[in-house]
Chain A
């Protein structure tokens, strides 16, 4: 049961406040914000309480999404609800930011009104909601097809803010109705890699969490068939086909997916609803089919002048693209962040099969041989377009019946670094 829901900007401005059960003072928002800001640590805990009122909050799009509830509530339900709410707001407003929430407050109130009644979650399905939501989304910038040229990815949460979200899929789902055009569907295979490489260069851990997301802008729902690699196999024992197997450890599907052709032909059938949904999630541990995308060869030394020398050689082991233009001098930059005691080396583009080196010289007061131990680890954050670490591919994407009018289907692959750590 949820008593209140509110959305705050990172500076504590009240963007949305909805009281479902009544009886709570209006100062509850300020109490929450005081609690958040009173903490010294960078990230406040997910659950905080003030007397009997429990605050559960998530951070998305730089905003605090907060629900107040009682101690007996399920943390899974409340967190999932807040995540879902944020996803819906993103679907309806196009993007998640302080600005978009501010501009679309009426729409968000309307959404909240339909999603939750008296503190009980009614529905979060966009199929149901689309019948009820009447307010138009306001976007700051009109959607333009030119933006499609640099198709990045919509929902992919990257740690790097520098990876700009493509605007192709950051438009409100409802605008298609009025613009009368574009019925599009995006199918994204998104993988997140978690890798730890030991100081001896050995791979200590490699995990891949992947998902297939569908974002649908089609007004009318038709059946979609997604074909995966024929040799896709789940679990350790079962291997299929003769080619290199594409294997995952565990795999789960959205409840709307029908799997009657999955066992024989690896085909997922579903009727996508408007907006974004995760069709399939899978996970693979330790046994990656391909080589790791990046290897780092670090050398750390102390020179006579008491300076720390860090020589980094970074190699990208992805297959080289035949027509890669940006080989020799990608624009790079390096910066020392004293606050986090880190050197940030930014590489805009990195072609497969190439290698980059850097030498960092650091003036460290009272550098001792012991403080060499403190250097490291190296964390890599990256986004690899058109590549999946598991090798999962989408063979085909068919819509039936054939859509009248023009429709476009997009299939995109991307691998993110969730945490790619190299110990020194």
Chain B
């Protein structure tokens, strides 16, 4: 943050620092230094005061020393020469009778991060390892790690490594844990500290002496250990059992991680551990700190993957508090969906229904889609709620409901009757693109059962000129085509108009291309068109849905107790915005706006572009059919240079206009 008048301030501070009157008055001196640090915190560059501050370092006042060190460590890298002056003071402080001063000097000596100073630092660090005071040893041990990272390539003295190994037996638990940390860094290239049986057992026996930070560190390092026998394994597990139910979430999580890693080939043990840990995890879900709640809920989602029924009786703990932030609410709803069973479904749905009218639209939409997910197993109740929500005539709610219904119908075709009845009149409320796209898909696929479908489409077709969204136009084309197949009499006229507009006036290539494709498809005869357009109406991979299969623990054990579960969005592969559901099942690309079938036919056309138009449409038809039958992998870059592409394109364009006029007549007939 640039700060006006920064130079003036620095000049004034320098004057004050070098004023002998100030220097002789400890309190004034300290206050001036305080001002320097304050200015530094505000983002002003005060590095110009380095030499004055170096002088201020030589003092008996510990507070002043600490302040000066904060300054020096921030600017040392900019002034390597001047920093040499500090080293003398620091080395002298390392001999100070007061252990606090010694540890302070040692820590800051290593914090200067100057490779040129290494030779001066090594000797005090070696002495520090044997210091009487534990606080000095703590600093010295980590100091070696800092030193090593300044020169990652240089070999560190084997004697030091040995000394660090022996300090694992230091009476002070923090020194022990710091040794672990330092050795992990120094020996990184060899895969970290050697975790053998004696070290493991030593660490485990001393675990109780450490504080929670030390415990979690030790437990993390021990994950590398593999017990040699089953007896040893069980000894370790029983020793760790009390840590598994620790009231401190960091320890509990680290212990579970260790459990899962050392008993990875004993699934029974892992499952038992999950059961045991659910209590403390639930307690963390009710923690006063909402960030902690969030972490706990995210990890519970991991657990549920392997033991879906684990927390069924505790489902009420995942009801959202009204003051909770949206990111927690969303995760809690995802958990609630997992926990649904015959006993609690009524309660959970009732609760979720309450969230659907939340002021936060994201929460409301998440609640609606959660109801939709439950609808896969309990469709009647859920559809009743969803239909009720349509009555509210709120655009964001209606949009979410229609999208949810589309997804529901895709997996549960038996719901389609209710959905068809409910859709009537939605188009007036719908505003956003995703919602309208979903409605169009439903109108296309279930057009024969929705009496008003042609009229709804007609309104949209009349307004297509002012339509800005690409996705809507393409969905509209497909929907109209599908409707034409089942209700030709009512749709023929509007389909002609739509195709005419899209081919003649539309500027977007994708829309034009799709319109042309359909146009030629009609040319191939109604049977062919039906074959291509009336694909599946439901997901063929889903049979009757009875809970989700439990996944093995090993699938997620690696990312337990890392940031991964917190940063990834929804656990399920449920993309937020997309066109029609049939694309989703074959599609892992996030932007489904460009429908896949289209882009692949597009590429194909470019390759065979110089052939006759008739053959071309044939080939794209085949591609379309095959795209429905088998998963496709798309190449993102067609092997055509821009110039070639333009050439082909112009060639084809001429052909199209010709044929386009012919075809127009055909449809009109």
Contact = CB atoms under 8 A, between A and B. Distances in A.
Contact of B66 (A72, A80, A134): A134
B630 interface: no
B43 A194 contact: no
Contacts of B295: 46, 75-76, 79
B321 A418 contact: yes
B107 A80 contact: no
Interface residues of A, number: 84
Interface string A92-131: 0000000000000110011001000110111111000001
B357 A76 contact: no
A48 B567 contact: yes
Contacts of B220: 74
Nearest to B213: A121
A368 B393 CA distance: 10
Interface stretch (A280-288, A298-306, A309-317, A319-327): A280-288
A182 interface: no
A76 B359 contact: no
Interface string B164-178: 000000000010011
A159 B323 contact: yes
Contacts of A74: 216, 220, 250, 253-254, 561-562
Interface in A159-210: 159, 192, 194, 196, 198, 204-205, 207, 209
B405 interface: no
Contacts of A283: 283, 286
A79 B347 contact: no
Contact of A54 (B211, B250, B563): B563
Contacts of A56: 291, 563
Nearest to B107: A117
Contact of A419 (B70, B181, B279, B323): B323
Given A46-B291, A370-B392, A374-B357, A14 B562 contact: no
B325 A42 contact: yes
By secondary structure, the B interface counts as helix
Contacts of B350: 198, 204
Contacts of B291: 46, 56-59, 79, 82-83
Contacts of B34: 106
Contacts, number: 216
Contacts of A120: 142, 177-178, 181, 217
A381 interface: yes
Interface in A207-256: 207, 209, 211, 250, 252-254
Contacts of B321: 194, 418-419, 421
Given A117-B139, A134-B66, A79 B292 contact: yes
23 contacts: A14-B43, A41-B360, A46-B566, A48-B567, A56-B291, A72-B563, A73-B563, A77-B213, A80-B248, A83-B289, A110-B66, A113-B107, A117-B107, A118-B142, A134-B63, A134-B66, A196-B319, A209-B288, A283-B283, A285-B317, A340-B359, A370-B392, A376-B354
**3 tightest A-B CB contacts, nearest first:** A419-B321, A252-B247, A43-B325
Given A75-B566, A113-B107, A125-B211, 17 more contacts: A15-B41, A46-B327, A48-B567, A71-B562, A75-B298, A75-B562, A80-B249, A109-B70, A110-B66, A117-B138, A120-B178, A205-B316, A254-B247, A376-B354, A381-B323, A418-B323, A419-B320
Interface of B: 1, 34, 37-38, 41-43, 62-63, 66-67, 70, 100, 107, 113, 135, 138-139, 142, 145-146, 174, 177-178, 181, 211-213, 216-217, 220, 247-250, 252-254, 279-280, 283-284, 286-289, 291-292, 294-296, 298, 314, 316-317, 319-327, 347, 350-351, 354, 357, 359-360, 362, 388, 391-394, 561-567
